[in-house]
Amino acid sequence: MSRERLALGFGLLGIALLGWGSYLGLFVAPPDRYMGDVQRIMYVHVPTAWLALVVFTLAFIYAVLFLVHRSWRWDALHEASLEIGVLFTGLLCIQGALWGKPTWGVYWAWDPRLTTVAVMLLSFTGILSLRHFLDDPLRRASWSAATTILASANVPVVYYSVRWWNSLHQLQSTPKTVNSSMVEPLRINAFGLLFLTIALIMARSWIAESRRRKAMAPPLAKESS
C-alpha cells in the first residue's frame, strides 16, 4: 500500500469516527446534571486537548531525534507536529472560551490551566515563526529543535496545572467519575481525532521534506549557448 493511500485511509477513518462520536455526543448522550447541554462541548474539547498534548510531546521526541541523528526525516516530522499542535491548541482555546462563558460567566480567566495553555500556544507559535524566518535548513532545524525542547517543559505543567494549583478549570475526569453513556462518544472522538492527526502529520511532513529538498538542491547548470 502506498503511503498516500495509508494517510488517506487514516484520514477517512478519523473523519468517520469523529462524525459518529459527535452524533452520539450531540444527540444521544444525556445532558450533564449541572452543566446541561453545554457539557456536550466536552466531546470535542477533551479529545482536542489530549491530542494537542500528544502532538507537542511528539514534537519534543522528533526534536531530540533530529539533534541526535541529524536525519531530515525527523525535522520534517518535527515541523508537522509543531503546526498541527498549534492548530489544535488554538482550537482548544476557542472551545474552552465557548464552554467557559455559559458555565463560568467569562470567556477567559487567568486561571493556571488557561494561562499555561496560553504560554504553550505562544511559545510553539513562536517556534513556527522562527522556522519561517530562517532560510538555512540546518540552522532552522537545529534552532527550532532546541527551542522545542525548552518549550516542551511547559507541556506536563499544562496537564498537572489543575492538580498543582487551585484552578477554576475542573480536574481530569476518569471513566469512574463519568457516566458510561458519556465515555463512549468521548472515546470515539478521541480515536477519530487520533487517526486524523496521524494522516495530517504524514501529509504535512511530506510538504516539509519536499520543501527542504528543493531548498538544498544544487542550482541547475547554466545552459550553454
Partner 1 sequence: MSGMIQGGWEFVWAAYGITFTTLSLYCFSLWMRLRADKNEP
**Which of 38, 119, 149, 157 is the binder for partner 1 (CB under 8 A)?**
38
Residue 223 φ then ψ, to 5°: -70, 130
- Contact between 23 and 17 under an 8 Å Cβ cutoff? The reply is no
To the nearest whole angstrom, how small is the minimum distance from the Cβ of residue 185 to partner 1? 12
Q: Which grid coordinates are listed for 39?
A: 457539557
CB-based contacts of 5-13 (< 8 A; 24+ apart in sequence):
6/202, 7/198, 7/199, 7/202, 7/203, 8/199, 10/195, 10/196, 10/198, 10/199, 10/202, 11/195, 11/196, 11/199, 11/200, 13/192, 13/195
To the nearest whole angstrom, how small is the minimum distance from the Cβ of residue 201 to partner 1? 10
Q: Please choose, from the candidates 28, 45, 158, the residue with its C-alpha nearest in 3D space to the C-alpha of residue 96.
A: 45
Stretch that binds partner 1, among 51-59, 145-153, 167-175, 199-207 (CB under 8 A): 199-207
Q: At what angle do helices 180-216 and 137-151 cross, to 10 degrees?
A: 150
To the nearest whole angstrom, how small is the minimum distance from the Cβ of residue 71 to partner 1? 21
To the nearest whole angstrom, how small is the minimum distance from the Cβ of residue 211 to partner 1? 7
Residue 182 makes contact with partner 1 by CB under 8 A = no
Q: Which is nearer to partner 1, 48 or 116 (CB)?
A: 48
Q: Which is nearer to partner 1, 35 or 67 (CB)?
A: 35
- Contact between 76 and 208 under an 8 Å Cβ cutoff? The reply is yes
Q: Which grid coordinates are listed for 126?
A: 513562536
Question: What character string, x for contact with partner 1 (CB under 8 A) and - otherwise, covers 41-70?
Answer: x--xx--x----------------------
**Which of 20, 61, 73, 95 is the binder for partner 1 (CB under 8 A)?**
95
> Which residues of this protein are in contact with partner 1, per CB under 8 A?
11, 18, 22, 26, 31-38, 40-41, 44-45, 48, 87, 90-91, 94-95, 98-99, 101-103, 196, 200, 203-204, 206-207, 210-211, 214
